[in-house]
Structure 1
Amino acid sequence: MNYQKEVYHVSGIELHWGLEGAPRAIVRREDRIRLSVAQEAARLMYEEGVREYRDAKRKAARRFGPEKALSLGSHLPSNAEIHGELQRLIGLHEEEVLPERLLRLRCAALRLMEMLAPFEPRLVGSVLTGAVTEQSDIDLHLFAASHEEVEEFLRGKGIPYELEVVTIRHGGEFFDYPHVYLDDDGVVVECTIYPLADIRRIPKSSITGKPMERASAKKLRKLVAEGEEFDGKG
């Protein structure tokens, strides 16, 4: 007697019905590769301090095969998938120390934001969302007429810094964004300087594709005082 095997595809997973009459899930090769790359990229960010999702993704992909082949189609994970794996690692290894570390970094961020008040600072990134590791830096957005204005302010206070201009492509245009790097007792502080008019233009998150979560000093002060989780507002 011949039995016909039925195969259905649901969200990248093959469901096979055999003689047993029960479905058996088989994950596609592409999904296995994507998960492996996501886990390795998260490990690189967690253990080795790789800061950018793009860099972690490329470095992880090279460990699983030719980068050109892995850069095609569905082989590479999204930033959201890597972020999810990173949060899993943090929850697995950092549960006991996370609250103290998060409070310490948020207090440092608040102190810096109060010092940089003339530039309407906004906190973004892991220190705001709570997914901090031992390698996490503090990410601030500043708003000024020019990066020279910020540099003059820092020099006036005797604060050492490094300047880097990062060119980003939006559509068919290229935009230069000055980044000022500070050191706060061993913690890297990255300040991205935007034009004054951009304070009401919220950039998209590289993780979710939605407007980026960011907080003013007032909002951060409330989070620190009340020990709250960030709610994405303000």
Structure 2
Amino acid sequence: MRRHAREHEQDHGTLRTQQQRRRIAVEAARLMSEEGIRDFHLAKRKAAAHLGIFAETYLPKNSEIDAALREHQRLFQADTQPQLLQQRREVALEAMRFFAAFEPRLVGAVLDGSADEHSAVCLHLFSDDPRTLQNLLDENHIPYDEESRFLRLTREDADEFPVYLFSADEIAIDLTLLPLDLLRQAPLSRIDEKPMKRASRGALELLLAEKTD
């Protein structure tokens, strides 16, 4: 009897954990969609606080929040999200043509299909000399902000890289400048900790052609 009682308690605890993780993931997805939060950690913490859930064991994985975000878009943004995504992919293609000398690769929400009105066009550019990109922006009178970003190259190692931010057609452009040798080694995704999916200009052109057929 005691064993059955313990098993029942364990099953109940597992179900409760799943339910709470789901609640936090759904709320985090709503916050990301409506408030433009793009930091998964911040979104899940804020969602948990909103729901009054503070146990670490109930915090969902980033992949769970990503799945909830896509579900939220299907349910509440079916009429607008596809157009927003298409618009950003077209802007991404123009940007990739402009930065062709830097072997651009599209990454993030605009590539994976989850982009919305808050999403930036995120490109990885490649050069061993940051001044070449700065000169290109300056020569074309493109005002930009410069930041830095840590990216994980393996599960144990991370490094800091320069980021350049500006807008085109009222859409944010986010450029991360990486050394040339990282053309062959994509940083790890914050969603599933696997190498980021990246698309060349040719791959994006094919993706856009598929949508217009």
TM-score by length of 2: 0.87
- The reply to whether residue 34 of structure 1 matches residue 21 of structure 2 is yes
Higher relative contact order (CA closer than 8 Å, sequence separation 6+): 2
Q: Unpaired segments of 5 or more residues in structure 1?
A: 16-25, 229-234
| Matched ranges for 1:30-179 at <5 A | 30-65=17-52, 69-70=54-55, 72=56, 74-167=57-150, 175-179=159-163
- Whole-angstrom distance in 2 between the partners of 1:87 and 1:224: 20
Deviation of 1:200 after TM superposition, in Å, equals 0.6
Equivalent position amino acid for 2:100 in 1: A
- Whole-angstrom distance in 2 between the partners of 1:208 and 1:5: 36
Higher helix share: 2
- 3-state DSSP class of the match of 1:205? coil
Equivalent position amino acid for 1:128 in 2: L
Deviation of 1:175 after TM superposition, in Å, equals 2.0
Q: Return closer, same or farther for 1:135/1:122 CA change in 2, 3 Å cut-off.
A: same
- The reply to whether residue 212 of structure 1 matches residue 196 of structure 2 is yes
Indicate the structure (1 or 2) with the bigger Cα radius of gyration.
1
- Whole-angstrom distance in 2 between the partners of 1:42 and 1:213: 21
Residue 196 (structure 1) aligns with:
180
- Whole-angstrom distance in 2 between the partners of 1:135 and 1:167: 21
Q: Unpaired segments of 5 or more residues in structure 2?
A: none
Q: Return closer, same or farther for 1:147/1:61 CA change in 2, 3 Å cut-off.
A: farther
Offset from partner CA, 1:96-147 (integer Å, 9 cap, x none): 2333222211110000010011111100111111112221111111111132
- Whole-angstrom distance in 2 between the partners of 1:158 and 1:206: 33
**Count of aligned pairs:** 210
Higher strand share: 1
Deviation of 1:226 after TM superposition, in Å, equals 2.6
Equivalent position amino acid for 1:90 in 2: Q
Deviation of 1:176 after TM superposition, in Å, equals 1.6
Q: Return closer, same or farther for 1:6/1:89 CA change in 2, 3 Å cut-off.
A: same
Comparing 165-174 with 97-106, greater Cα deviation is found at 165-174
Deviation of 1:148 after TM superposition, in Å, equals 2.5
